[in-house]
Amino acid sequence: MYPTVAEVLALPVLRQGRPHVVAGAARLDAPVRWAHVAEVADIAPLLRGGELVLTTGVALPDDGAALARYIADLAGVGVVGIVIELVRHWSEKLPSALVDAADRHGVPLITLSRETRFVSVTEAVNGLIVDAQVDELRAAERVHETFTALTVAGAEPGDILREVARLTEHPVVLETLAHEVLAYDTAGTDPGELLPGWPSRSRPVQVGERTGYHPGAGWLITVVGARGHDWGRLVVVCGDPPPRRHVVVAERAASALAVHRLVAKDTDSLERQAHRAILTELLANPVPPGELTARASALGVPLTGRLLVGVAVRPRITATAKTTQSTPVLLRELAEATALAARRAKVSALVATDDTLVRALIALSPEAGVDAVLRRLATDVHEARAGAPAVVAVGTTGSGPAEARRTLVEAAQVAAAALTENVERVVQRLDDVRLRGLLHLLSGDERITAFAARELGPLLNRDAAQGSRLVQALRHYCEHGGNKSAAAAAAHTSRTAYYQQLARIEQVLGVRLEEPESMLSLYVALLAHDIREADDHTSE
């Protein structure tokens, strides 16, 4: 906002005085807050710092010690430069004591060899400063208008950070108080340079106030939160101390982010959104790019050098549960329960909701006991959601980012297949779903659907038309391996009545149930039909 000493010396009104820097040349980049004419030696107590002092030197002493004290006093209050006209007191050069003291204290000392109208100098310099202050106020007003519009429009965090990067032309990162990256904008730079090692780099960087600049890290930091609850930090990565307008940008962006979190309380948290973005890209990329693994690491979930296990949690939504709680709310609660279980198990995890399930990718150290960790995590999820039972399924363990997609896909397939089973297990695996799992994988194949319709169509139509329960009787028969007595007991029907139902099934379908191939075909068709029904029920 303020012109530097060098910029002031370049003004025409000072150039005509032939300025010459005789000391403190290294500090010519210091900003000039005000230009002040001072002809008395003890002016220091009246100054506030940042002034460029103009003097003819007529009131300055000739004593070397007094001159050194004059410079020391001005340096002590933060004067950024002293301009002395060589006309009235010293005509050729300044006393060496004055020059040496200025060098010693790092205060720019400038001589003018021609008479100069100081009033014109102060008008020019202070006019620049006032114009810059007005421009700064206008810029701040535009910043307020921009972020107010974003807040009213319900802009997402990514849109807010994009605006910060545009206005400051610097990378910006939104992190949790645990220093996990929730969102970022590189401002056109390489994410591979911004994100690696972020948590460990960010942890020691503290500014001790809600907004401040850390010169060591080159970061402008402002705390994000509202109603006394702080939940994150906004970091603008800039090498030099930021101008005031960049501070305003950071603070207004932090306010917009805090409002967004309050308004969007019925949607996924920023953490879940960040996790979902990475999981979605892992599913879309068989070979994850380096930038993706860097983002995961910045969220506190390193993918390299880790054992990776995909986890899928699907709620068992009954008709009663469906009327009391919507699926999105239920999934959000399951996601938070899964994330909490991962923290309790002391493992890193990416956790996010999908359309019908909660996905998670667990990252374990190579020495970890995978089975024990998964069992503890699943047990915690079941206990946390005792009132809303769920299936916790896992994929096979992978050994790096390239295997993340496979284990995530497997976990979702196992969860979908296990959802139609009546068997309750703490953790469902590929080995547990067997034929049902295979049929689930093929459930989208029209040939499987056509097969089930051919095998069961007449029976389904008979039940629908006459209100009979022949399909259920057939299911008991197949599930008990053709044991009629056991099937009748499971159906809570007398053997005589049940045998009559089986005879009717054979009549409707035109098959002999005792034939192994007939029973196998019908059982496969029943499983395929159940899976299709479950998929249709879930998508409602």
HEC assignment per residue over 187-211: CCCCHHHHCCCHHHHHCCCCCCCCE
Work out the average pLDDT over 88-115: 90
Place of tokens 């769920």: 390
Residues 256-284 have pLDDT tens digits of: 998 888 877 656 678 888 899 999 999 98
- Of 102, 98, 111, the C-alpha closest to 63 is 98
Distance CA 248, CA 61 (A): 46
Q: Which fold has domain 270-432?
A: Alpha-Beta Plaits (3.30.70)
Q: Which conformational region is residue 305 in: left (phi greater than 0), alpha (psi within -120 to 50 degrees), or beta?
A: left
Q: 518, exposed or middle or buried, with CB in 10 Å at 0-12, 13-18, 19+?
A: middle
Is 154-263 assigned to CATH 3.30.470.20?
Answer: no
pLDDT for 437 beyond 70: no
| Residue boundaries of the structural domains of the chain | 5-126, 154-263, 270-432, 446-539
The percentage of the chain sitting over the pLDDT mark of 70, rounded to a whole number, equals 92
Work out the average pLDDT over 458-462: 89
For 360, the 3-state DSSP assignment is strand
Which strands make up the sheet holding 307-315, listed edge to edge? 348-353, 358-364, 307-315, 390-394
Work out the average pLDDT over 469-495: 88
pLDDT for 534 beyond 90: no
Q: Name residue 69's amino acid.
A: R
Q: How far is CA 136 from CA 132, 148, 213, 245, 464, in A?
A: 6, 18, 19, 7, 76
Work out the average pLDDT over 34-50: 89
Structure tokens at 441: 């994988």
Distance CA 394, CA 199 (A): 28
Work out the average pLDDT over 188-192: 86
Is 5-126 assigned to CATH 3.10.620.30?
Answer: no
Contact 358, 312 (CB under 8 A): yes
- Of 383, 369, 371, 333, the C-alpha closest to 353 is 333
Structure tokens at 246: 């960049």
Q: Which conformational region is residue 393 in: left (phi greater than 0), alpha (psi within -120 to 50 degrees), or beta?
A: beta
**What secondary structure letter does DSSP report for 428?**
B
Band (pLDDT 50/70/90 cuts) for residue 152 is confident
Distance CA 229, CA 157 (A): 18
Q: What is the pLDDT of residue 265?
A: 62
Q: How far is CA 475 from CA 22, 77, 317, 503, in A?
A: 101, 92, 22, 14
Q: Could you tell me the end-to-end alpha-carbon distance of the chain, in angstroms, rounded to an integer?
A: 59
Mean residue pLDDT of the chain comes to 86
pLDDT for 319 beyond 70: no
Q: What is the pLDDT of residue 536?
A: 57
Q: What is the pLDDT of residue 389?
A: 80
Q: What is the pLDDT of residue 79?
A: 93
Band (pLDDT 50/70/90 cuts) for residue 106 is very high
Q: What is the pLDDT of residue 350?
A: 94
**pTM of full prediction above 0.95:** no
The contacts of residue 441 (CB under 8 Å, 6+ apart) are: 413
Work out the average pLDDT over 90-105: 89
Quick check: do 154-263 and 270-432 share a fold? Answer: no
| CA 382 from centroid of its chain's CA atoms | 28
CB count, 10 Å around CB of 379?
15
Distance CA 498, CA 485 (A): 9
Q: What is the pLDDT of residue 540?
A: 47
Band (pLDDT 50/70/90 cuts) for residue 440 is low
pLDDT for 318 beyond 60: no
Stretch among 17-31, 169-183, 440-454 having the lowest mean pLDDT: 440-454
Residues 193-223 have pLDDT tens digits of: 898 889 999 999 999 899 999 999 999 999 9
Band (pLDDT 50/70/90 cuts) for residue 323 is very low
Residues 388-406 have pLDDT tens digits of: 788 899 998 998 888 999 8
Q: 395, exposed or middle or buried, with CB in 10 Å at 0-12, 13-18, 19+?
A: buried
The percentage of the chain sitting over the pLDDT mark of 90, rounded to a whole number, equals 36
Q: What is the pLDDT of residue 324?
A: 43
pLDDT for 539 beyond 90: no
pLDDT for 354 beyond 60: yes
Place of tokens 């056991």: 486
Contact 182, 261 (CB under 8 A): no
CB count, 10 Å around CB of 201?
14
Residues 303-314 have pLDDT tens digits of: 998 999 999 998
Contact 197, 283 (CB under 8 A): no
